[in-house]
Amino acid sequence: MRSGSMRVAEISLPAIRHNVRRVRELTGGAVIVVVKAGGYGHGAAITANAAFAAGATIVATADLEEALALRDAGVTGPLLCWLHGVRADFGEAVDAGIEIGVSTLEQLERLGAAAAERGSQAVAQLKVDTGLSRNGSCPDDWPVIFARAAELEAEGLVRVRGIFSHLANAGDEADRAQATRFDEAIELLRQAGIDPELRHLAASAATFSSPHLHYNAVRVGVTAYGLSPFADKTSAQLGLIPAMTLRSEIIALRGVPAGTGVSYGFNHVCEAATTLALVPMGYADGMPRALNGSGAWVTVAGEPRPIVGRIGMDQFIIDVGPLAGRLSLGDPVVLFGDPEQGYPPVEIWSGLMRTINYEIIASIGPRVIRVPIDGPDRNPAADAEARA
Ligand SMILES: *Cc1c(COP(=O)(O)O)cnc(C)c1O
């Protein structure tokens, strides 16, 4: 870490390992950990390594570029990616041993051609659309794609390692309808002569809500980072530990008289004399600007204190009135983290912003340095006891 970094996302490796193990214990099958978008803001390589250490079978990204970047960062385990532009170079994927999620016949042909050119074998997982209406092949195209996949497999050019689909999370009934279509796809693929090693439908939500949708693998993102995919359930209730602690520090303290206006537009005016602390994080770092005036708080010296005035691109202000005598420059400020450790949960921000925790963590900006923190693995039984 560069010295003097004022904006740090500490990433707890024991927390990620705990969360991946928790999913493994819950499902009993293979676990694919999704590290797209920079590991949901946590750092893709940091997360990938921790996930493999905890027994993940595959680490997945959306784009091939992200998967190639993981190879460049020295990640050697199995990688899968599934969202491809028309110019994605599957030759690079074959060279780097990256599994390709295939949604169209055209992608399958490109993958087969890349393998043929290199005299090697590509690995594919067939992505089928069972109702999300997004990425993945449509049922009408399954017979042709599956037949061609079987040919390419017979020629030794493509190994079909898996079949997968993604849920719309539109309720239990809709999930079951998607599972029925997924079963049909698996059956059709078997009739075409391919019995795929991995069959996966559930992401985090169905992993925790619907054991009947586990098949023999699940693909989890947000829960690997210790966050809940449900609005009405906390991390602790799911047995998960939030991995990110977003920290900054106080870089200025100033006593002000009653009536002092704070930050752009003076939309906060101090009612009484108080002390203001300046913190060098802003909307460029992923703090939603619209948190202004919403009642959001951070912890300073272990105490909750309100964010006041408009959040700037680089900095915001907290009213530290009652704590003033105890504070010095450089004291840590925690923006969010594990509520079991007394930090504000990220869900305060996502709730105030009417969005989901995913969006907040994925928006943490590039100036924030991701610092992996290792330590002894936590004992889940002891954790549960501590919570009780
Ligand atoms: C992002 C993504 C996931 C992970 O979703 P979570 O809800 O974070 O577990 C799984 N599968 C696909 C296809 C995705 O795009």
User: In tens digits, what is the pLDDT along the chain, a chain of 388 residues?
Assistant: 566 789 999 999 999 999 999 999 999 999 999 999 999 999 999 999 999 999 999 999 999 999 999 999 999 999 999 999 999 999 999 999 999 999 999 999 999 999 999 999 999 999 999 999 999 999 999 999 999 999 999 999 999 999 999 999 999 999 999 999 999 999 999 999 999 999 999 999 999 999 999 999 999 999 999 999 999 999 999 999 999 999 999 999 999 999 999 999 999 999 999 999 999 999 999 999 999 888 899 999 999 999 999 999 999 999 999 998 999 999 999 999 999 999 999 999 999 999 999 999 999 999 999 999 999 987 655 555 545 4
Distance 273 CA to ligand 1 centre (A): 49
- Residue to mutate, 16, 22, 31, 34, ligand 1, most ligand atoms under 8 Å from C-beta: 34
pLDDT given at position 61: 98
- Helix, strand, coil in percent for the chain, rounding step 5: 40, 25, 40
Cβ(226) – ligand 1 distance below 6 Å: no
Residue 203 in contact with ligand 1 by CB distance below 6 A: yes
Give CA–CA dist 241/248, Å, rounded: 21
Catalytic hit among 36, 215, 343, 358: 36
pLDDT of residue 308: 97
Residue nearest to atom 7 of ligand 1 (CA): 204
CA distances from 27 to 185, 235, 306 (A): 22, 18, 41
For ligand 1, whether the C-beta of 221 sits within 6 Å is yes
Max distance between CA atoms of the chain, in angstroms, equals 80
| C-alpha torsion angle, residues 272, 275, 276, 277 (rounded to 10) | -160
Q: How far is the CA of 320 from the centre of ligand 1 (A)?
A: 39
pTM: 0.95
Closest atom of ligand 1 to CA, residue 34? 4
Specify the pLDDT at position 337: 98
Q: Is the CB of 101 under 6 A from ligand 1?
A: no
Ligand 1 within 6 A of 127 CB? no
CA of 217 to the centre of ligand 1 (A): 13
Does the active-site annotation cover 264?
yes
Counting from 1 in the atom list of ligand 1, the atom nearest the Cα of 164 is 13
How many whole angstroms separate alpha carbon 76 and alpha carbon 45?
Answer: 10
Q: What are phi and psi of 387, to 5 degrees?
A: -75, -30
Beta carbons within 8 Å of 2's beta carbon, 6+ residues apart: 369
User: Is the shortest distance between the CB of 56 and ligand 1 below 6 Å?
Assistant: no
Of 40, 264, 283, 358, catalytic: 264
- The pLDDT of residue 138 is 97
* Closest-CA residue to 269 (of 277, 260, 278): 260
203 Cα–ligand 1 center, Å:
5
DSSP E strands in 84-197: the ranges are 98-102, 122-127, 158-164
Ligand 1 center–CA 220 separation, angstroms: 6
Sheet of 252-256: strand order equals: 252-256, 274-279, 316-319, 303-308, 297-300, 332-336, 244-249, 8-12, 369-373
Please give the helix or strand (H or E) that residue 114 lies within, else none.
helix 105-118
pLDDT of residue 293: 86
User: In angstroms, what is the span from residue 247 Cα to ligand 1's centroid?
Assistant: 27
State the closest ligand 1 atom to the C-alpha of 82, by its place in the atom list counted from 1: 13
Q: Where are the beta strands (DSSP E) in the chain?
A: 8-12, 30-34, 58-61, 79-81, 98-102, 122-127, 158-164, 198-200, 217-220, 244-249, 252-256, 261-262, 268-269, 274-279, 297-300, 303-308, 316-319, 332-336, 369-373
The answer on whether 134 is annotated among ligand-binding residues is yes
Give the closest residue (by CA) to ligand 1 atom 6. 221
* Ligand 1 site, residue 222, Cβ cutoff 6 A: yes
Q: Which two three-digit tokens encode residue 76?
A: 């050697």
State both tokens at 306. 């309100």
pLDDT at 379 (0 to 100):
65
Measure 7 CA to ligand 1 centroid, in angstroms: 28
Amino acid at 212: H
Does the C-beta of 220 come closer than 6 Å to ligand 1? yes
Is 200 touching ligand 1 by the criterion CB < 6 Å? no
Which of 216, 207, 111, 199 minimizes the C-alpha distance to 163? 199
User: Which pLDDT does position 365 carry in this prediction?
Assistant: 97
Q: Is 313 annotated as a binding residue?
A: yes
Distance of CA 362 to the CA centre of its chain: 7
How far apart, in whole angstroms, are the C-alpha atoms of residue 258 and residue 43?
43
